[in-house]
Amino acid sequence: MSMPGSRPMRIGNAEREAAVRALGEHYAQGRLDPQEYEERTSAAYAARSTDELAPLFEDLPGHGEQATTVLPVPPTAAAPLPQAPPHDVAAPYGRDPATGLPYSDRYKVVAGVLQLLLPFGIGRFYSGHTGIAIAQLLLSFIGIGVLWAFIDGIVILAGRPTDPHGRPLRP
């Protein structure tokens, strides 16, 4: 309630919400029945000044003798929205967690499977190692290249192969 001769204090949404929360606590304690709670919350939302909020609490404990001034709840800092990590231009396909090197645009599994299924250097052509691929292709005519390419496919799948620029192949 305002002092005699003073003007009522205007309230905002924060004060209205605080009053409704306080009425909700009284309703939860059984001091208000559902109809009273609805009437009082409607009046709280319609209130424009502290003088209009005060009568809503006059017959409730803790609010009868003193002037009812519902203080606004201090605004809480809104939690920042999760943001996507900034795009790493130097590593568009991500980075190898063990070394921190950017991944190649080629896949390790594809290179290894190509070496095993087509054992004459196709997986090495795919990964960008054309020199090794040509050597395996030429040696495949005498048989040793096929064995070399097959073993190389197992090494690619089990190891940490790189592309010609030294970037690890993607898993």
Left, alpha or beta for 144 (phi > 0: left; psi -120 to 50: alpha)?
alpha
Q: Where are the domains positioned within the chain?
A: 8-75, 97-171
pLDDT at 66: 38
Helices and strands in the chain: count of H runs, count of E runs: 7, 0
For residue range 132-143, list pLDDT tens digits in order. Answer: 999 999 998 888
CB 36 within 8 A of CB 71: no
Instruction: For residues 55 and 39, give the distance between their C-alpha atoms in angstroms, rounded to a whole number.
Output: 12
* pLDDT-wise least confident of 62-66, 113-117, 142-146: 62-66
Question: φ and ψ at 138, to 5 degrees?
Answer: -65, -40
How far from each other are the two terminal CA atoms of the chain, in whole angstroms? 71
Question: Mean pLDDT, to the nearest integer, of 95-121?
Answer: 91
Token pair of 164 as six digits? 């010609």
- Report the greatest alpha carbon distance in the chain: 111
